[in-house]
Chain A
């Protein structure tokens, strides 16, 4: 084994990465989002998507949805590291429950005329995207769906005059009658 001149064990292990969606219930207080983000940057974890909003204002609870990638061992670490933060109530791995619904919303601006414009409208219709703004040379579509669907829609809009996209990131919830 070729180990460089160090008394640390430097060789990395290469387990395959997985993508997981985590729902994190937190006390909504100053700095709580900074703590969560700081944990990810400080420990070198990935954030693919992060959404946060207060969900129960009387109890001052916010729900953070994080999509992250890592080896199975790292994913477990992330959950434990989140769980031990003082203002964190619960961490649920929505990917492991296999019973979760994930959605995001995107607003997609497309500029074009003639055939392109007609084609964009036709595709939007097929994807159940709504027109929420229009001028004679542009549309803004609103589309919700899982990440794949939105990626697909954006890819289709690209040759038709895609100008810009604004996405919310993923929100997730479990199926069935129980809460998290």
Chain B
């Protein structure tokens, strides 16, 4: 028998968790303590390599970890207790699953011998989170813990990234076992995401691209997830081919908004030129996007005349909603590299002058037009002013969900990836404030702004307290229209303007609220005061709640109405009452 007492790899499960975090390069985690994770918190207390950020609600920990992950490209880590701690993580886990965000959640569980007994703060965490994680584990033996933790990091960050959860019973945290550093054999042999695209498919794709008359590149969050190389290659491909490019909500920033080939975002609230280009193109190159229903509109009328190339690391994304002609399974960066290489060797820039002329006509429709006012701040104008004021600054934007989110996507120009954090797939109100906390932790000296709505921001407002505690100078820029604006807009357009429960009654005084938390409150009503107030917000090095009072009944346009195709968008200048009623006919239109 060997003497194990001096073996440095002998340690408790709780110590293994902290050690594994360090071995995976984790410097910051977001969490909330409770009975079933006290041994882990004890370990955290006795070291200084991993900084723990105490949130005010576990959902906040999850979204903060998401913001951290999306702004750094590294996995975000959350630590929660059993029962309610774990159930409070369900929303962020689902959010991260929908948006392919690498997230590692460690949850405490009641001791193994109590599992299944309805013990205090017991819940079936792996059962509850199975459909909202990429994979999850319940660790029953301390000697499995190191392997599972390493595999968890690998699964979260490789292939199509996503959230994972490791559930660790309290007795396993106390038990002593053998730790080992990460190694290849920690991972299931059955898990081997495909990275390299098929060479024959890549040739087919290049042949289509080289002969295109009316091409478009449609990129998504996959390009950003793939890393800086993919972004670089995407930009190079646009340069080499001269093709127009649009992107999903999740993909903003992969191609710079100031780039000359940029069409703006596509989809339900995308630009006219982006959606018309998609509709009329003859070759579509989809890179790391998934033909979501907010993108396609009516599927049987989606880009009817085009040959479609689809690059995705997840085979299940291919042919799910839209049938494509040339699927390429692989990592965006890798496949783009191969496409570029073949294109440069064998093809030359296609002549698409006529196509650009057509696009110029669509652009001239100026689909993001809105009528400015001297009396009341238009929300679009507020975003534009914010954008102008932050130009050239090291800025990160998060959002909540609603009209303000769409206006932010339309009017804030992103030049770089990882600068735009929004809940796309799940559309989680309450995402933006805690996400901003996470972003600011990762980038302490940057300007981090949550573009918020008056309703959304109240869902996770408590994280203001976290921001104050850790001196995170996040800016919460509330487009306060005193409505759940997006809900009100749908009710107006689709439900006879019966505004059922969409008015934000009894709103708090956001200035006083900010002060109550120990932050700074700013309120603006007049367009003339806006720029000065934004400057003040930026210069304050403390958390700010910015109550920007905007026009209450402004609608978000352009918009693809119900059951309509991309070429049947409703543009702002047409959106008078009569046209709107007609476009949405089928609804009991009183608009």
* Chain A residues in the interface with B (C-beta under 8 A): 1-11, 13, 26-27, 30-31, 34-35, 38, 42, 73, 76-77, 80-81, 83-89
Contact status of A11 and B563, CB under 8 A, knowing A6-B494, A84-B315, A86-B155: yes
Q: Given contacts A7-B268, A77-B320, are A27 and B494 in contact (CB under 8 A)? A: no
B588 touches A30 (CB 8 A): no
Q: List chain A residues, Cβ under 8 A from B495.
A: 5
Q: B297 contacts A9, CB within 8 Å?
A: yes
Nearest 4 interchain pairs by C-beta: A3-B563, A5-B587, A80-B316, A5-B494
Q: A31 CA to B165 CA in the complex, in Å?
A: 14
Contact B490 A7 (CB under 8 A): yes
B130 touches A27 (CB 8 A): no
The answer to whether B293 touches A9, judged by C-beta atoms less than 8 angstroms apart, is yes
User: Contacts A6-B494, A87-B188: A73 and B131 contacting too (C-beta < 8 A)?
Assistant: no
Residue of A nearest to B489 (CB): A7
Q: Is the CB–CB distance between A38 and B315 below 8 Å?
A: no
Complex contact B316–A86 (CB within 8 A)? no
Docked CA distance A76–B321 (Å): 12
Give bound CA distance, A85 to B188, whole Å: 11
Complexed CA–CA distance, A180 and B69 (Å): 39
Give the residues in chain A near B559, CB-CB below 8 Å: 7
How does the 8 Å CB contact mask read for B115-150 relative to A, with 1 for contact and 0 for none?
000000000001100110011001000000000000
The contact sample of 26 A-B pairs, CB cut-off 8 A, is: A3-B586, A4-B586, A5-B562, A7-B561, A9-B293, A9-B297, A9-B298, A9-B299, A10-B563, A13-B299, A27-B188, A27-B190, A30-B138, A31-B126, A38-B131, A73-B319, A73-B323, A77-B316, A77-B319, A80-B318, A81-B316, A84-B160, A84-B314, A86-B155, A87-B190, A88-B190
For A10, what are the chain B residues with a Cβ–Cβ distance below 8 Å?
563
- Complex: A11 Cα to B494 Cα, angstroms: 17
Contacts of A35 in B (CB 8 A): 130
Count of chain B residues with Cβ under 8 Å from any Cβ of A?
39
Q: With A80-B315, A80-B316 in contact, is A6–B188 under 8 Å at CB?
A: no
**Nearest residue, chain B, Cβ from A1:** B563
User: Residues of A contacting B316 with CB < 8 Å?
Assistant: 77, 80-81, 83-84
User: What's the nearest-Cβ distance from chain A to residue B419, in Å?
Assistant: 28
- Interchain CB contact (< 8 A) of A86 among B134, B323, B494: B134
Q: Of A1, A8, A34, which is within 8 A of B127 by CB?
A: A34
Measured between beta carbons, the chain A residues less than 8 angstroms from B155 are 86
Contact (Cβ within 8 A) A42 B494: no
- Kindly identify which residue among B299, B315, B490, B586 contacts A2, using a CB–CB cutoff of 8 Å: B586
Complex contact A9–B588 (CB within 8 A): no
Q: Find the A residue at minimum CB distance from B155.
A: A86
**Given A9-B298, A84-B315, A87-B188, A34–B130 Cβ distance below 8 Å?**
yes
- Asked if B431 is at the interface (CB within 8 A of a chain A CB), the reply is no
- CB of B191 within 8 A of CB of A86, answer yes
Bound CA span A27–B190, Å: 8
Query: How distant is the Cα of A73 from the Cα of B315 in the complex, in angstroms?
Result: 13
Please report the C-alpha to C-alpha distance between residue A11 and residue B587 in the assembled complex, in whole angstroms.
Answer: 15
Q: Which residues of A contact B490 (CB under 8 A)?
A: 7
Q: Decide: B563 and A9 in contact? CB cutoff 8 A.
A: yes
Q: Compute how far the CA of A58 lies from the CA of B200 in the bound complex, rounded to whole angstroms.
A: 39
Instruction: Tell me, rounded to whole Å, the shortest Cβ–Cβ distance linking A44 to chain B.
Output: 13
Having A9-B293, A9-B296, A27-B190, one finds 15 other A-B pairs with CB under 8 Å, namely A1-B563, A2-B586, A4-B562, A5-B495, A5-B584, A6-B562, A7-B559, A7-B562, A73-B323, A77-B319, A77-B320, A84-B316, A86-B188, A87-B188, A87-B191
B529 in contact (CB, < 8 A): no
A8 vs B293: C-alpha distance when bound (angstroms): 7
Distance A13 CA – B561 CA, assembled complex (angstroms): 19
**Complex: how many Å from CA A2 to CA B586?**
7
Query: What chain A residues lie within 8 Å of B297 (beta carbons)?
Result: 9
Q: A72 to B297, alpha carbons, bound, how many Å? A: 22
Is B586 touching A5 in the complex (CB atoms < 8 A)?
yes
Shortest CB-to-CB span from A35 to chain B, Å, is 6
In the docked arrangement, what's the CA distance between A89 and B316, Å?
16
How many whole Å from A180's CB to the nearest CB in chain B? 14
Q: Closest approach, in angstroms, between the C-beta of B194 and any C-beta of chain A?
A: 10
Min CB gap B405→A, angstroms: 15
Per-position 1/0 for B559-588, Cβ under 8 A of A: 111110000000000000000000010111
What residues on B are CB-neighbors of A6 within 8 Å? Answer: 494, 562
Name A41's closest neighbour in chain B (CB-CB). Answer: B131
1/0 per position for B16-37, CB-CB distance to A under 8 A?
0000000000000000000000
Within 8 A of A (CB), among B159-174: 160
A31 to B136, CA, bound (A): 10
Bound state CA distance, A127 and B68, in angstroms?
66
Interface centre among A7, A13, A30, A77 (most CB of B within 10 A): A7
A87 / chain B contacts, CB cutoff of 8 Å: 188, 190-191
Q: Which residues of B contact A30 (CB under 8 A)?
A: 138
Contact of A31 among B130, B134, B189, B562 (CB under 8 A): B130
Which B residues are CB-close (under 8 A) to A4? Answer: 562, 586-587
Most B CB contacts (10 A, CB to CB) among A3, A9, A77 go to: A9
A80 to chain B, nearest CB (A): 4
Bound Cα distance from A38 to B587, whole angstroms: 36
Chain B residue at smallest Cβ distance from A7? B562
Which chain B residue shows the least CB distance to A11?
B563
Which residue from chain A places its CB closest to the CB of B589 in the assembled complex? A5
List the A residue with the shortest CB-CB distance to B314: A84
CB of B300 within 8 Å of the partner chain = yes
Smallest Cβ-Cβ distance to B313: which chain A residue: A84
Query: For A83, what are the chain B residues with a Cβ–Cβ distance below 8 Å?
Result: 315-316
Which B residues, 367 to 405, have Cβ-Cβ distances below 8 Å to chain A? none
Alpha-carbon distance A70/B298, docked complex (angstroms) = 21
Nearest Cβ on chain A to B50's Cβ, whole angstroms: 26
A20 to chain B, nearest CB (A): 16
- Report chain B residues within 8 Å CB of A85: 135
Complex Cα gap A4–B494 (Å): 9
Minimum CB–CB distance for A72 against chain B, Å: 10
Identity of the chain A residue whose Cβ is nearest the Cβ of B495 in the assembled complex: A5
Nearest-Cβ distance from residue B272 to partner chain A, whole angstroms: 17
The CA of A10 and the CA of B562, in the complex, are separated in Å by 9
How far does the Cβ of A25 sit from chain B's closest Cβ, in whole Å?
8
**Which of chain A's residues have a CB closer than 8 A to the CB of B188?**
27, 86-87
Report A-chain residues with C-beta under 8 Å of the C-beta of B190: 26-27, 86-89
Q: Would you give the shortest CB distance from A19 to chain B, in whole angstroms?
A: 20
Assembly CA distance A34 to B128 (angstroms): 11
| CB-nearest residue of chain A to B301 | A9
